[in-house]
Amino acid sequence: MVLPKNTAINPAVFPLSLAAGVLLALCIGVGVRLNKERLPNQHSHHYNHLFDKPAPSFEIEGLSGGRVSSQKGSETWLLYFTDSGSKACDAAYPTLKKIAQYIPVTVIGLGNRTQLSDKLAQHGIVATVGYDSLRSVPPLYQADVFPSAMLIDPEGIVRQAAIGSNGIERIVIDVVQKEKGGR
């Protein structure tokens, strides 16, 4: 900042300005930290109506043929929604690959079928994959942001939900750690 030649800086104002700047920086830092702590499940409230209730049933065509449906198995599984045209989904495929090594995953794919197939193959994702050409499954789960996912227990009850790669990874890590600790 350039001051006119005959301008004097009031020594009493400088410490107040400095203190205000430091206080502002601290408030911003605390706000960012608090927001980061909420990020993994910041949208889980969006799915509150599903928690502790049976997962809605569905049956759609499989990406490679056959049929894919909601499942009730012997372990907790992840229902994962992705869209071939979403950059956030593209960035999340490495996380999905990692998750699929620890927990069964059913992917509900939207968008361009060929692109979806290519992207999943390119990332080496091993999962049950359904192609929802009519976009009929996401509304059942109010999944309108992608990627998003729901953890469903062996009885078919929705236990947790998250949006985004970090949030989805966090809920899966929690389940894997609990299951390993409980055995």
pLDDT of residue 24 exceeding 80: no
| Block residue for tokens 């969006």 | 46
Q: 163 forms bridges with which residues in the sheet?
A: 148
Provide the angle, in degrees to the nearest 10, between the axes of the packed helices 87-100 and 165-182.
Answer: 10
Q: How far apart are CA 146 and CA 164, in angstroms?
A: 7
Tens of pLDDT, residue by residue over 104-146, are: 999 999 999 999 999 999 999 999 999 999 999 999 999 999 9
Residue 14: per-residue pLDDT: 58
pLDDT of residue 17 exceeding 80: no
Residue 176: per-residue pLDDT: 81
Residue 73: per-residue pLDDT: 78
Q: Is the pTM of this model over 0.85?
A: no
pLDDT of residue 25 exceeding 70: no
Amino acid of residue 30: V
pLDDT of residue 61 exceeding 90: yes
Residue 37: per-residue pLDDT: 35
Tens of pLDDT, residue by residue over 37-58, are: 333 444 556 788 889 999 999 9
Whole-angstrom CA distances from 68 to 92, 117, 129, 139, 161 are 22, 15, 7, 17, 20
Residues 6+ apart with CB under 8 A from 153: 76, 159
